[in-house]
Structure 1
Amino acid sequence: MPELPEVEVVRRGLARWVRGRTITGVDVLDPRSIRRHVLGTEDFVGNLEHATVLDVVRRGKFLWMPLAMAAPFETKTRAGELPNVALMAHLGMSGQLLMQDPAAPDEKHLKVRISLSPADGMPEQLRFVDQRIFGGLFVTSLVPTADGGPGGLGETPLPEIAEEASHIARDPLDPFFSFDAFYRKVKNRKTGLKRALLDQGVISGIGNIYADEALWRARLHYARATDTLRRADAERLVESAKDVMNAALAAGGTSFDSLYVNVNGDSGYFARSLNAYGRAGELCGRCEAVGLHSIIKREQFMNRSSYTCPVCQPRPRNGRW
């Protein structure tokens, strides 16, 4: 499942290619990929054709494109007014958003093809490819943000958010992220620390891989009871999450197979730099650097796996799962 850095890589690529361009045509090749658009294919296509993409916005792992609607919806986006409709993209397990030239052959698992107005030297098609069909596209409403800040990370901050993302907290890379709000929620959660990190209502965008990496960097065990977490520990954890996500962004994301790619079809290579996740049975690099022989340990956690160093991330006596 793509996590925040992977989705941000896609967002940045899309913003470069689609902002300000008008949708000239939409081909739905597999209606299953727009099943979340409950009014069906005709309404989906009708909402998108002749609309202009204003921006590409992300909060956590949610991604959407605010639209300036064409007639008969044009009165909704007159000058000075905020857009109130967006194209939402859910990547699921294997969804890909690719920019392609019209002459490029169709991908094997191509589901939706969106044609864009010509722009100098830019591909004219946005293609949604999804092998496992867990992801999809749909048109959604934009609603005001609860805190009055931008809905998420975008090129043009607007105080609106896609309705489906309005329930989730801000993520560590969001300029409007509030550490105080995060710490208050964590202390009140009374659960294990990793469970809190994976709770999108507490902090968004952190999945299993980056939770393990942030906890390793912060020297905290995943079972640490959140109500025992000191402010200094929480600050170190948030900074660790930011550091690991920024490092992943610089590497283009984390790819373990060919399913995750950016808009140009390239895979990320941050997997080569992971310190804990997927390294069971290997030496902890931090311990090895100071002459300690400590082996990364894998444990079952919420039907997944957690990877920790038993020396520099000791299990707390009063921990919670």
Structure 2
Amino acid sequence: MPELPEVEVVREGLDKWIRARTVQSVQVLDPRSVRRHIDGVDDFEQTLTGCTITSVVRRGKFLWMDLEGLETPTALVAHLGMSGQLLVEEPDAPDEKHLKVRLSLSQKSVFPRELRFVDQRIFGGMFLSPLVATADALPAGAGSIRATIPEAAAHIARDVMDPHRAPEDLYVSLRRRTTQLKRAILDQGIISGVGNIYADEALWQAGLSGLRNTATIRRPEVDRLNDALVDVMTRALAAGGTSFDSLYVNVNGASGYFARSLNAYGREGKACARCLENGRDSLIRRDPFMGRSSYSCPVCQPRPRKR
């Protein structure tokens, strides 16, 4: 599933191409892709038509577009799920095989005229959600100056890259829980935007085991983890995110390249780079985790002792 860097790359592209443009028509080609819009397909198409997109915002993995032109402040939420893509295209471009929703936009210079939601596995979707005040009265996320957030995303914590997030918040949230460290940083109610790939990378960089109990975590360790999360996300964002197949692309269909820089994730049986530098012989191991996999170094990410 796309994580913060992948979604931010999409947000930046959308902000460039579709902000300040009016939705002239909406075509839902697969009702399953707007199933989260409780009032149905017709209402989705009719309500969205005529609205102007004023900003494109992201918090964690959540992406939405603030709308103007409705009586109730509303956002168009786009949930990418496992395989969702938001692409900007010209109307005469061939339809993608898994095209689900088409938005025709007002003309602006030489910008493409369509926003297309493409989704092969149909875990994602689009829906309208009323805007509510943020709990801390601060801007909702990247791309926003407003203290409003879609009601559907109001439960999501501020993300790794959010300038309004205090690193102290992570320590406090972790110590309040009694769970495994990796499970905690994947919890979007604690810190948002982190998924399986970047969790493994940050834990490796911080030299911490994802099996650590959060109740035992010390402040210097959380500081180290926080710095690692920020660094990993920053580098991944600069590389355009991590792409392992053609599903993870930006609005122009280009893939990211951070997969070439991974130190832990997907490197089972390969030498740990840090141990190699320090003259130690250790191989990255893979363990089952919540129906997926976790990758770590058994030497420089020591597991907690069993009591």
Given the alignment, which residue of 86, 90, 95 partners 1:97? 86
Unaligned runs of 5+ in 2: none
The answer as to 2:114 corresponding to 1:148 is no
Q: Deviations over 1:198-254 (max 9, x none)?
A: 111111111111000000000001111111111111011011001111111111111
Note the C-alpha offset of 1:191: 1.1
1:267-278 alignment to 2 at 5 Å? 267-278=255-266
SS of residue in 2 equivalent to 1:189: coil
Alignment of 1:254-273 (within 5 A): 254-273=242-261
Look up the match of 1:34. 34
Pick the aligned partner of 2:148 from 155, 160, 171. 160
Aligned to 1:222: 210
- Please say if residues 13 and 263 of structure 1, whose CA atoms lie closer than 8 Å, have aligned partners that are also in contact: yes
1:85 equivalent to 2:85? Answer no
Equivalent residue, structure 2, for 1:108: 97
Instruction: Give how far 1:318 is off.
Output: 5.5
> Aligned partners of 2:290 and 2:42: how far apart in 1?
40
Q: CA deviation at 1:38?
A: 1.3
Counterpart residue number, 1:195: 183
Could you report, residue by residue, the CA deviation over 1:75-119 in whole angstroms, capped at 9, with x for unpaired residues?
55xxxxxxx101000001110000001111101110111011111
Q: Which runs of 4+ in 1 moved over 2 A?
A: none
AA at the equivalent of 2:215:
D
- The alpha-carbon deviation at position 145 of structure 1 amounts to 0.4
For 1:195 and 1:129, locate their aligned partners in 2 and report how far apart those are by CA, in whole Å: 30
- 2:267 pairs with one of 262, 279, 304: 279
Q: Percent identity?
A: 62
Contact 1:225 / 1:318 at 8 angstroms: preserved in 2?
no
How far apart, in 1, do the equivalents of 2:271 and 2:169 lie? 36
Which residue is equivalent to 1:80?
none
Match of 1:241 among 209, 216, 229: 229
- Once the two structures are TM-superposed, the CA of residue 192 in structure 1 deviates from its matched residue by 1.1
- Give, as a single letter, the amino acid of the residue that structure 2 aligns with 1:186: L
Deviation at 1:36, TM superposition (A): 0.7
Distance, in Å, in 1 between the alignment partners of 2:124 and 2:262 is: 26
Q: Distance in 1 between matches of 2:203 and 2:123?
A: 29
Q: Hey, what does 1:64 align to over in structure 2?
A: 64
Could you tell me how far 1:55 is from its partner in structure 2? 0.3
2:284 to 281, 296, 306: 296
SS of the residue corresponding to residue 176 of structure 2 reads: helix
Aligned-partner residue type, residue 61 of structure 2: K
**What are the ranges of 5 or more consecutive residues in structure 1 without an aligned counterpart?**
77-83
Q: Is the 8 A contact 1:224 1:318 kept in 2?
A: no
Q: How far apart are residue 53 of structure 1 and its match?
A: 0.2
- Distance between the aligned counterparts of 1:52 and 1:106, measured in 2? 24
Structure-2 separation of matches of 1:279 and 1:120: 46
Residue 5 of structure 1, CA deviation: 0.8
Q: Which residue of 2 aligns with 1:13?
A: 13
1:190 and 1:227 in contact (8 A); partners too? yes
RMSD: 1.1
Contact 1:152 1:174 survives alignment (8 Å): yes
Aligned equivalents of 1:314 and 1:87: distance in 2?
A: 44
Farther off after superposition, 178-187 or 269-278: 178-187
Name the structure 1 match of 2:44.
Answer: 44
CA distance in 2, matches of 1:139, 1:168: 17
- For 2:82, give the aligned amino acid: M
State the 1:10 CA deviation.
0.5
